[in-house]
Amino acid sequence: MVESKVVVVTGAGRGIGRAIALLMAQHGASVVVNDIGASLGGDGTDATPAQEVVNEIKQAGGVAVANYDSVAEFQSAAKIIQCAADTFGRIDCVVNNAGILRDVIFHKMTEGDWDAALTVLLKGAFNTSRHAADHFRKQESGAFVHMTSTSGLIGSMGQANYSAAKLGLVGLSKSIAVDMARFNVRSNCIAPVAWTRMTSSIPSKDPNAAKRIARYQQITPDYNAPLVVFLASDAASGVNAQVFSVRKNEIFLMSQSRPLRGMHRADGWTPETCAEQLYPALKSGFYPPTERTNEVFSWDPI
């Protein structure tokens, strides 16, 4: 599917990123396996995870190189993209997968918690994408795949920083798609589901949560990789500015913000008419304020 393409996968040392890197190589891509080997919270470095993935790819007959630069700093992210160009002569796809968790209930969240998550998840995706855009524009081709989350699309407790960054990725992806369509560059998002190092950190505080976790432990990262490889391939040339979600053997096209319903008053609106007319007319269409992913996807993964 991606024969002779060059693909950068960030956060590829473990979990979903690792699964994507392995399948990209299996389908013929030369892969830059980027991972600084940090903890879940973004601390520390370890070259081992990225190198182990590279070794696994090479042992299977594939082509890969490890990269340990951080997505969080603009110039450091430039080195990730340059690694692809220097090693393989070009770049065809960037998979923005790198992430951290700084989960905490909102009223206890610190500025440091907020900044750390936004810097890696959202600014990091901008950094790599911006540097790759120069190459894509010149060669008039390229693809971005950004890993968003139902935490941002739907909502999640204790993840205001993570959710904001992940929903921000959808806006970033859409803007890239609009700005770079003239250069035959595509940008899409995937909200993955898998049992990984990140999701294993979620506490099971009650029996229902424990049951949900037990179900999700059956979903390995590998389920998410096929769609990513497809979106990087020429077979997906007509797929741009979309948001997908993968849930074991299910793939969903997710909705994007569009008007649901509206009201018009020829003489305009006042606070009183908003209360008396607008609110009663629209409230049946309101989304539940505390609705979370497990309530929207209420059935077991298939």
Write the Ramachandran bin of 177: left for phi over 0, alpha for psi from -120 to 50, otherwise beta: alpha
275 burial type by CB count under 10 A (0-12 exposed, 13-18 middle, 19+ buried): exposed
Q: Given 3-state DSSP classes, what are the helix, strand and coil percentages for the chain, each rounded to the nearest 5?
A: 50, 15, 40
Element (H, E) at 115: helix 111-118
Note the Cα 50 to chain centre separation in Å.
Answer: 19
Note the Cα 245 to chain centre separation in Å.
Answer: 10
CA angle 16, 300, 231 (to 5 degrees): 35
Instruction: Give catalytic residues, as residue numbers.
Output: 162
